[in-house]
């Protein structure tokens, strides 16, 4: 069983991740302030989130609606961002709960979100998920669909597109992720240069993602430790 997270351990891990973000950004000639650290807190107790919140970490990513709702009730001051696949029938729960949706992957979902947000007179930052790898197990647009998707998205003014998001195939070698990150950057430059965000990179490969232009990195185990999926 993993040791419980303490404030001291959380501070050490947060400092290490932030130092690596700064190192990778400077290596690429970038300002470290361009990179947002998104702490992925799914399956971890709200008490652990509270430790990082106390240390100044604001952005937290959740994959499951019910878990996010429960945590947000206890820690409403955190910026909760949805990073999982959202079913269209759950869109009505998004307004007022999430700071952003980082996994917009269909026009059907866009329409449902726009309706729910309009009823609440709200706008929502979104990242468009692109399935760069073409894996059937992953959600997201085919890269060829992106231009048409962006055109249609203008019909939904309650959505505020921020950028693109992707997940490469898992590989313990972070260099194997680099081509996928580079392809997302190139796709953004070609098809959506007005969108400045690139959400890509996780605990195992975020230094490479930053070198390839990531503006949001999703870090779970490097902050919270190994997950208990039981």
pLDDT digits (tens, 9 = 90+) for 18-30: 999 999 999 999 9
Residue 170 has pLDDT above 80, yes or no: yes
The pLDDT, as a whole number, for residue 1 is 45
Delimit the domains of the chain by residue range: 7-224
Predicted confidence band of residue 2 (pLDDT cuts 50, 70, 90): low
The pLDDT, as a whole number, for residue 226 is 86
What average pLDDT does the segment 164-170 reach? Answer: 96
Mean pLDDT score of the chain: 96
Residue 101 has pLDDT above 70, yes or no: yes
Predicted confidence band of residue 138 (pLDDT cuts 50, 70, 90): confident
What whole-number percentage of the chain has pLDDT above 70? 97
* Burial label, 124 (beta-carbon count in 10 A; 0-12, 13-18, 19+): buried
> CA-to-CA distance for 230 and 216, rounded, in angstroms?
29
> CA-to-CA distance for 100 and 79, rounded, in angstroms?
8
The pLDDT, as a whole number, for residue 146 is 97
The pLDDT, as a whole number, for residue 3 is 67
Predicted confidence band of residue 112 (pLDDT cuts 50, 70, 90): very high
Residue 41 has pLDDT above 60, yes or no: yes
Residue 74 has pLDDT above 60, yes or no: yes
The pLDDT, as a whole number, for residue 230 is 42
What whole-number percentage of the chain has pLDDT above 90? 93
State the architecture of 7-224 in CATH terms: Alpha-Beta Barrel (3.20)
pLDDT digits (tens, 9 = 90+) for 85-95: 999 999 999 99
Predicted confidence band of residue 137 (pLDDT cuts 50, 70, 90): confident
């Amino acid at each position: 069983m993993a040791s419980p997270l303490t404030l001291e351990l959380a501070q050490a891990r947060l400092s290490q991740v932030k130092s690596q973000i700064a190192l990778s950004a400077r290596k690429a000639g970038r300002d470290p302030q361009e990179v947002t650290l998104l702490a992925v807190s799914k399956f971890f107790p709200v008490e652990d989130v509270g430790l990082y919140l106390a240390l100044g970490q604001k952005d937290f990513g959740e994959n499951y609606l019910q878990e996010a709702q429960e945590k947000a009730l206890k820690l409403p001051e955190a910026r909760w961002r949805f990073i999982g696949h959202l079913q269209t029938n759950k869109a009505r729960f998004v307004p007022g709960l999430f700071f952003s949706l980082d996994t917009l992957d269909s026009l059907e979902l866009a329409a449902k979100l726009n309706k729910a947000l309009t009823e609440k007179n709200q706008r929502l930052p979104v990242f468009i998920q692109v399935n760069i790898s073409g894996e059937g197990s992953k959600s997201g647009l085919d890269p060829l669909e992106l231009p048409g998707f962006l055109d249609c998205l203008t019909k939904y003014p309650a959505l505020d597109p921020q950028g693109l998001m992707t997940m490469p195939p898992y590989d313990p070698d972070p260099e194997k992720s680099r081509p996928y990150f580079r392809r997302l950057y190139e796709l953004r430059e070609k098809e959506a240069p007005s969108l400045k965000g690139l959400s890509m990179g996780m605990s195992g490969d975020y230094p490479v993602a930053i070198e390839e232009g990531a503006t949001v990195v999703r870090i779970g185990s490097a902050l919270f430790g190994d997950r208990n999926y039981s």
